[in-house]
Amino acid sequence: MDAKRAKTGVVRATTTAPVNIAVIKYWGKRDTKLLLPINSSLSGTLDQEQLHARTTVAASSSFEADEIWLNGKQEDISNQRLQNVLGAVRALAAKKDPEHPLKDAHIKIASVNNFPTAAGLASSAAGYACLVAALAELFGVQDQELTAIARVGSGSACRSLMGGFVRWEKGTRDDGADSLASQVVPESHWPDMQVLILVVNAGKKGVSSTSGMQSTVKTSALINHRAEVVVPQRMKDIEKAIQDRDFQTFGRITMQDSNQFHATCLDTYPPIFYMNDVSRQIVQILTQYNDAAGEIRAAYTYDAGPNCVIYCLKQHVQEILSLVCHYFPSSESEFVRGRSTTASDYSSTVDAAVREKISGPTTADGVKYILHTGIGPGPKTLTNEDAFLIAEDGSVKQQA
């Protein structure tokens, strides 16, 4: 247990947690309070070097109430999902030790992201996973049940509690006790797997995923067939592809499942649109690129927004970066970020034979920037004082 007890009697723990990007999409709940899904899902956990949430939790009998600060700003902690998470962790701690030293202590929470929350990069999953990991540290509880606790904060948060590739079983029990996340393979299994996130310039955000998925469940004539027939087979097939490091199968299923998720959104009444013309243009360029290469080299997937996430292998990263830079020229000074900071020249990187089979308009500034990242580990506990967002005396530190 790495929780730090200061002389002041304030006990603290700080963790970071990753973002995850699903390749088999979660869309639709069978229980909207317990956040139980109508189908299992599977995701890659992204490298925290590029994207992570960082959370410090502190407990003290001297605190008069539970409080939360997000990105340096105090927020209302009465939020139902937050209360569900706090209550569930306290209950788990009490189950393990009825006389738990923190059982009556109030808790202060401070959390920040190292990336823009608004960019549509699954920040809530990282945020709730980080909160649960930090509380688990604080209370000294470690249990797969923690994934069920993260789930009641934000469904897909349960997949951010482990590294590598992670499955979230839909489960069958009404109480959700078997709707848990577990690791398919650790991050070390497939080191060549890379991730490129194309942040697309978009207008106002579309329908929230919480209301959108319930509208789909209520009105789509196709969603049940997807959940009951299509997804179970895809889960088996993509898990095997990951075990075998079979990128062709992995990439095909990833693209097909992204397409089908957006298809069920369109089959919703009234229809829900998350992809825009730039998103579609990216799909068409990558489809031509894969066809020209005679193999799948870039596997796109889209969540509830226009951003494109590309899973690809290390040897094709520069080719794909140069392709995107060619068709989406940008005036942005830091257009390529993360593991790569520049893109090679298109004509010198991509074979002429491949290039001549790709065509389409170029769209200036259609893509805001590209983040190059990869697959990484689960939450990490930090112990150096600099990492703490709450000081020894229990006060929330000012953000630089």
Residues of this chain that interact with a second copy (CB under 8 A) are 203, 221-222, 225-226, 229-230, 252, 255-256, 259-260, 262-264, 266-271, 273, 276-277, 280, 283-284, 287, 361
DSSP annotation of 60 reads E
Q: How remote is the C-alpha of 230 from its chain's centroid?
A: 23
Give 175's contacts (C-beta < 8 A, 6+ positions apart): 34
Nearest-approach distance from CB 338 to a second copy, in angstroms:
27
| Residue 96 main-chain phi, psi, to 5 deg | -80, -30
Give strand ranges (E) for 127-234: 165-168, 181-185, 193-200
Nearest-approach distance from CB 275 to a second copy, in angstroms:
9
- 210 or 288: CB nearest a second copy: 288
- 158 or 285: CB nearest a second copy: 285
Rg of the chain taking only CA atoms, in angstroms: 22
Nearest-approach distance from CB 280 to a second copy, in angstroms:
5
Report the amino acid identity of residue 211: S
DSSP annotation of 109 reads E
8 A C-beta contact, residue 297 and residue 363: no
Quick one: tokens of 300?
């796109």
Nearest-approach distance from CB 207 to a second copy, in angstroms:
11
Nearest-approach distance from CB 331 to a second copy, in angstroms:
22
- How many other CB atoms sit within 10 Å of the CB of residue 61? 12
Report the alpha-carbon distance of residue 198 to residue 372 in Å, rounded: 9
Ordered alpha helix ranges (H), 11-140: 80-96, 123-139
Question: Which of 378, 360, 358 is CA-nearest to residue 158?
Answer: 378
Nearest-approach distance from CB 36 to a second copy, in angstroms:
23
Nearest-approach distance from CB 121 to a second copy, in angstroms:
23
- 5 or 240: CB nearest a second copy: 240
Q: What angle is formed at CA 383 by the lines to CA 379 and CA 388, rounded to 5 degrees?
A: 90
- 284 or 347: CB nearest a second copy: 284
- 255 or 350: CB nearest a second copy: 255
